Amino acid sequence: MSVHCSAISAWNALSELGDLVKCPAKDRVEFIEDCKSGKYDGVVVICDRAPSSIAVTGKYDHALIQELPKSLKFICHNGGFRTGGLPSLTSYPYS
pLDDT tens sequence across 47-95: 887 677 888 888 888 889 899 999 998 888 776 555 555 666 666 565 4
Instruction: List, in sequence order, every residue forming a beta bridge with 54; answer none if it has no partner.
Output: none
Query: How far apart are alpha carbons 17 and 41 in whole angstroms?
Result: 17
Confidence of residue 12 (pLDDT cuts 50, 70, 90): confident
Q: Nearest-CA neighbor of 72 among 60, 59, 54, 81?
A: 60
User: In 1-95, which ranges are continuous DSSP H helix?
Assistant: 2-14, 28-37, 54-57, 62-65, 86-90
DSSP letter for 35, please. Answer: H
The pLDDT, as a whole number, for residue 57 is: 86
Looking at residue 69, its pLDDT comes to 94
The per-residue pLDDT for 83 is 52
